[in-house]
A and B are shown apart, each in its own frame.
Chain A
Amino acid sequence: MKIFFDSILNVSVPDPDDARRRRLLNILMLGNVIAALFGLLAIIIANLVAQKFSESDAQVLLGGIVIITLGIMGIYQINRRVSGRWAALLYLLLLTLIFTFTDSPAQLSNGRSLFLYTLPIAISSLILLPEASFLFATIGGGIVAGLALSINQPVNFFSIIGFFMLALVSWLSARSLETALKDLRAINANLDQEVLDRTRALTASLERERIEAGRNQAILNSIADGVIVFDKNWNAILANPAVKGMLSMPLELIVNKNFRDLIEHPRLASQSRSLLYAMIEHDTQPVGFRIIWGEKTLSVSAAQVYNTRGENIGTVTVFRDFTREAEVEKLKSTFVAIVSHELRTPLNAVLGYAEMFKEAVYGPMNDKQVNMADRIMKNTQRLLGLINDLLDQAQMEAGKLTIHNAPLRPAELLDTLHGLMDKTASDKRLRLTSEIDDELPETLLGDSARLQQILVNLVTNAIKFTDQGEVRVRFLRTDDTKWGIGVEDTGQGIPEADLPYIFDTFRQVEGATTRVHGGFGLGLAIVKQLVNLMSGDIKVASQLNTGTTFTITLPLVIP
């Protein structure tokens, strides 16, 4: 029904105002036709019942109805096909014309039908133009005045003024209606644009997110490290495929499960289990540690994830397969142990036999033979020293070299040093002197073997690079918390440009010096690493042809 009426009444034109006016006109005309049909029915019924109308009257009435109906049909066609404005104008003129013939001139100009002319005024502002109300006020006023004059009656100026007042009100209301509608349409249009823009932005952002997520997933899938993302309750929310191979279990047994379930897995070594529990139970996580999972050694590192408000929302845990590295390390330390034993033992034998020659155990030796035995011993000792350095270096690189602090007497360190080095110094006609600060406690905590190694290393170096004068070893109390070792020589010194590199592994100042003095330049690198392991610091000061001073500062702990 609605569709039927809409199809009759609506006129499809692009301008919504025009469409609205044309539809309004059609509604009015439809109303008129219906009213005319009712009128026709009334006339027929009245005639049948009371013979009220004369035949001529009925003819006039019927004629009027036919004219109105035909006129309206014509105007309807114009309204639909040609122009809403013209149709409205014609309709209003038709309406005005019909009104002029519906009553006597007296009633029309100054009586009961005077109001009829207000209708075109009000309607015109709605269906033609807001300003058109004035046109029809003028037409209505003109007709009323004309009719009055035609029957010699005074013109009803008040009603004409009333027409114009009505025209004014109609104009204003129609105009504000149109303005309001325009505004509304503008708002609607804006709203539509806004919705469109928002939809586009949302689509774009969803697309971006999809691409981003795809890229992240691709990165996650392609990295060799196992990555598990946990929420703040340690439920696994994401795991990449590498995890599967690393833990030798399907991802379904990992994702959406709590990490504690995984930690209880029998494949995990018990010590590793406590490490992982420590990781999840402490807010601060260790930088990285290793766990044993079945046959595999995995390194674990964890980073907490925070949202923009700084709240902890979970943890990203990265597992790296360290099995091979762990095997290599184990091999390396085994190698070091074997080398340590297997190289030192035969060298010890060489040394012992050379000593036996020198000591003439199997009969007297001449000077040349003794001298040769001496040379065998010296070279063997050099080789032993070198092996020790290499082993220390290897152990340090493997992180195996540790410091064992125990109470020690600094004076004993110096006694041992003299026992070991006095002869080397006197062989070069150098003095080896030592002194201890009175402020230094008689006993303090330290690793005597490693301190001895440091002293021997520095003093050997000092003797090696000094041709005349002395080598001084001093133990000092730096302050309440520190003590120091100074080794000072009167040797050739180190060029300033080389000072920054002297603690580097396998480095000796100038290539040629290696050949003169021997050694691979590991000594100072080992000394520095040992000092660092003791939480200490080593500095060097040197002046060419005047001497060099090494100063070690160590934490002072009194047992």
Chain B
Amino acid sequence: MSELALIIEDDEDLANIFAEAMRGVGYEVEHIADGKLAQERLKNGNIPFIILLDMHLPHVSGGDLLAEIKHNKNYSTTTLVITTADARMGDLYRDQADFVLVKPISFVQLRDLTSRLKPR
């Protein structure tokens, strides 16, 4: 059974690249492009093994989603990776996530990282 990766990212191209990188190392990928929809998804449905969370999202911000994830016990074992274009913002969330990736995020970099995280 492959692990579920939830990619919350509003840019279709980046989401596509991230998805390809993670699919390549064996994840099952689910993509959500909107903050509001992501909020709904986080309340219901399967608990993903890893979440890739963009900080800059329409309707509901990445920060709000982050707070909800942190407060939800169901996500206590989920690996949380924050992606942002703003290095400053990345520094601010470093303590609250397992990883912070500052854009530009390399395909290889993400593939290698998520590959390492995957249980063997």
Residues of A that sit less than 8 Å from B by CB: 340-341, 344-349, 351-353, 355-356, 359, 361, 380-381, 384, 404, 449
Given A352-B104, A356-B20, output 6 extra A-B contacts at Cβ < 8 Å: A341-B86, A348-B103, A349-B13, A349-B17, A352-B21, A361-B20
Contact B108 A361 (CB under 8 A): no
- 10 A-B pairs with CB atoms under 8 Å apart are A341-B56, A344-B104, A352-B13, A352-B18, A352-B105, A355-B17, A356-B17, A359-B111, A361-B107, A449-B87
Contact of A347 among B91, B104, B111 (CB under 8 A): B104
How many Å lie between the Cα of A59 and that of B108 in the bound state? 161
Please tell me which one of the listed residues A345, A355, A356, A449 contacts residue B103 in the complex, with CB atoms under 8 A apart. A345
Q: Is B106 an interface residue (CB 8 A)?
A: yes
Confirm or deny: B37 has a beta carbon within 8 angstroms of a beta carbon on chain A.
no
Q: A341-B85, A449-B91 are in contact. Are A348 and B108 (CB under 8 A)?
A: no
Q: Which residue of B lies closest to A344 (CB)?
A: B85
Say yes or no: is B24 at the interface (Cβ < 8 Å to chain A).
yes
Bound Cα distance A352, B24 (Å):
14
A368 and B20 alpha carbons, distance in the complex (Å): 23
Give which listed residue, A345, A356, A359, A384, contacts B14 with CB less than 8 A: A345
Q: Are B85 and A345 in contact (CB under 8 A)?
A: yes
Residue with the highest number of chain A CB atoms closer than 10 Å, among B17, B106, B108: B17
CB contact between B106 and one of A340, A344, A351, A361 (< 8 Å): that residue: A351
CB distance from B109 to the nearest CB of A (A): 9
A351 cross-chain contacts in B, Cβ below 8 A: 104, 106-107
Main secondary structure of the interface of A (DSSP, over half): helix
- How many angstroms from the CA of A82 to the CA of B48 in the assembled complex? 139
Cα separation A352 to B109 with both chains bound (whole Å) = 10
Closest Cβ of chain A: how far from B96's Cβ, in Å?
Answer: 16
Residues of B within 8 A of A340 (CB): 85-86
Report Cα–Cα, A352/B13, bound state, in Å: 9
For residue A323, give the distance in angstroms from its CB to the closest CB of chain B.
28
> B11 an interface residue at 8 Å Cβ cutoff?
yes
Minimal Cβ-Cβ distance residue in B for A377: B106
* Contact present for B106 and A352 (CB under 8 Å): yes
Contact B107 A352 (CB under 8 A): yes
Given A355-B107, A359-B108, verify A348-B14 contact (CB < 8 Å). Answer: yes
- State the Cβ distance, B39 to closest chain A Cβ, in Å: 21
Q: Tell me which of B56, B86, B91, B104 contacts A348 (CB under 8 A).
A: B104
**A333 → chain B, closest Cβ, in Å?**
13
Closest to B54 in A: A345
Most B C-beta atoms less than 10 A away, residue of A341, A347, A355, A449 = A355
Q: Which 6 A-B pairs have the closest CB atoms?
A: A352-B17, A349-B13, A355-B107, A348-B104, A352-B107, A344-B85
Give the complex CA separation of A361 and B110 in angstroms. Answer: 14
**In chain B, what residue has the closest Cβ to A447?**
B91
CA distance A384 to B87 in the complex (A): 14
User: Smallest Cβ distance from B11 to chain A, in angstroms?
Assistant: 5
Are A353 and B13 interface neighbours, CB within 8 A? yes
Question: Complex Cα distance A351/B86, Å?
Answer: 17
Chain A residues near B108 (CB-CB < 8 A): 355, 359
**CA–CA, A352 and B22, complex, Å:** 13
Would you call B107 and A349 a contact (CB within 8 A)? no
Q: How far is the CB of A224 from chain B (nearest CB, A)?
A: 38
- Point out the residues of chain A lying under 8 angstroms from B103, CB to CB: 344-345, 348
Rounded to whole Å, the gap between the CB of A530 and the closest CB of chain B is: 13
In chain B between 55 and 108, which residues have their CB closer than 8 angstroms to a CB of chain A?
56, 85-88, 91, 103-108
Q: How far is the CB of B108 from chain A (nearest CB, A)?
A: 6
**8 Å CB interface, B1-32 against A:** 11, 13-14, 17-18, 20-21, 24
Chain B contacts of A344 at CB under 8 A?
A: 85, 103-104
Residue of A nearest to B84 (CB): A341
Chain A contacts for B11, CB-based, 8 A: 345, 349
* Bound: A351/B13 CA distance, A: 11
Q: Is the CB of B91 within 8 A of A404?
A: yes
B107 — nearest CB in chain A belongs to which residue? Answer: A355
Within the assembled complex, what's the spacing in Å between the Cα atoms of A65 and B105?
144
State the CA gap A355–B105 with chains docked (Å).
Answer: 11
Is the CB–CB distance between B24 and A361 below 8 Å? yes
Q: In the complex, which of the residues B13, B56, B104 has the most CB atoms of chain A within 10 Å of its own CB atom?
A: B104
A384 touches B104 (CB 8 A): yes
Minimal beta-carbon separation of B73 from chain A (angstroms): 31
Closest to B15 in A: A349
Bound Cα distance A355, B20 (Å): 11
* Least Cβ–Cβ distance between B54 and chain A, in angstroms: 10
Most A C-beta atoms less than 10 A away, residue of B56, B103, B111: B103
Q: Is the CB of B56 within 8 A of A359?
A: no
Cα separation A346 to B13 with both chains bound (whole Å): 8
Which chain A residues lie closer than 8 Å to B91 at the CB level?
404, 449
* Interchain nearest-CB distance for A410 vs B (Å): 18
The answer to whether A349 touches B56 (Cβ under 8 A) is: no
Q: Kindly report which residue of chain B lies nearest to residue A453, judged by CB atoms.
A: B87
Residues of A within 8 A of B20 (CB): 356, 361
Q: Which residues of B contact A381 (CB under 8 A)?
A: 104
A162 vs B56: C-alpha distance in the bound complex, in angstroms? 132
Q: List chain B residues, Cβ under 8 A from A347.
A: 104
Bound-complex Cα distance A353 to B87 (A): 22
Give every chain A residue within 8 A of B87 (Cβ-Cβ). Answer: 449
B85 to chain A, nearest CB (A): 5
Q: Which residues of chain A have C-beta atoms less than 8 A from B86's C-beta?
A: 340-341
Complex Cα distance A143/B21, Å? 157
Q: Tell me which residues across on chain A come within 8 A of B85, comparing CB atoms.
A: 340-341, 344-345, 348
Note all chain A residues with C-beta closer than 8 A to B107: 351-352, 355-356, 359, 361
